[in-house]
Structure 1
Amino acid sequence: TIKRWDMSGWSCTLSWRAHDAAVSCLASSAALKVLCSGSEDGRLRLWRFASGASSEAVLVATLCAAAPLKPLRTLGVEPSLGEVICAGTSDGTVCMWDLRAHMLLHTLRAHIGNSVRALCFGAGGRLYVAGSDSRVVVWNVRMDDELDNRKQQGVD
């Protein structure tokens, strides 16, 4: 279930069943006016909100990588245009999607055998991916190239 909250009155303004399995992560693209939800079932769903009195969530697309689907752990939208989203999975891969075309662009093998725990975009087309193996991998997403792979000192 996803709930939308009015922060001024601390009241729930909308609630809907977004996936059959548990929702594990959320991200939004202000540029495309979509909310992205990731789930334990490995599916990424894109939502828009209907205007007017009903204000319901409308499913735009369901995106899936190749089977078998792995639970999604984290989402990140590329900030400059808001048209690319990355989804980190429980098996250490990162799937990069075009939000307009609903198409898989790349699959990055970031933390094989370990879960992706967090990811974020940086300057110059860099994607930082942290895993349960205590490593941070830096990718140049424009070139599909790993730039750096470091283990945090003192972390086991």
Structure 2
Amino acid sequence: MSAQPVIRAATSGDGDALGELDRRTWSPAHAVTPRPQPPYDPFFDSTHRPWQFLVAELDGKLAGYIRLVQPTRLASNAHVRQIQGLVVDDWARGRGVGRALLRAAMEEARRQGASRITLRVLGHNEPARALYAAEGFAVEGVLPGEFLLEGGYADDVLMGRSLDPLTPPAP
């Protein structure tokens, strides 16, 4: 039987490994930023803090991460958390890492007092959209042609779900 992913909070010491993971897994299937080029910026900076990240380890190796943040500083939006990045290393795909990170992020959002969670995903990223839908996220909006990526336009799909345990996930 395959090992289950271990999810933990990121530490400042994870920065180099997470930066390498980001560079290794960059793809126009999910990235809206240009391909990283040397010299590389630090993974953690003033707007990307270690406490915003959960990391997954599988077989004792870093397998992925998820970033969870408040989407705005507005008090009226304090009940919402937003996923701003979910990455799984190629060798760990299909082993439950993405699902474990997503579930851990929802639990962390609940722990922080959130009652709702949202994310944005490129329209052509079918594997990610299927995972989110399977975990109860529903499409709440689409921004057609929002990004020009490698010569083609890509939709920005807005998805969200309630974190209330009494509210059933969207079909």
Q: TM-score if structure 1 supplies the norm length?
A: 0.31
Q: Of the two structures, which has the highest relative contact order with CA contacts closer than 8 Å and spacing of 6 or more?
A: 2
Q: TM-score if structure 2 supplies the norm length?
A: 0.29
Structure having the larger proportion of residues in strand: 1
